[in-house]
Amino acid sequence: MQELLIGSLGSQLLAYAQQHPWRVFAAVLVALLLIDMLFRQRSSGTGDFPVDGLDFGGDGDCGGD
For 50, residues 6+ apart whose C-beta sits below 8 A from its C-beta are 56
Q: Is the dihedral of CA 42, 46, 51, 52 positive or negative?
A: negative
- Convert 15-32 to b/e letters by CB count within 10 Å (16 or more is b): eeeeeeeeeeeeeeeeee
Give the model confidence (pLDDT) of 1-15 as tens digits. Answer: 455 556 678 888 889
Confidence at residue 40, expressed as pLDDT on a 0 to 100 scale: 85
Amino acid at residue number 55: D
17 pLDDT tier (thresholds 50, 70, 90): very high
Say whether pLDDT at 65 is over 70. no
Confidence of residue 41 (pLDDT cuts 50, 70, 90): confident
pLDDT at 46 over 60: no
Rounded CA-CA distance 34/9 in Å is 25
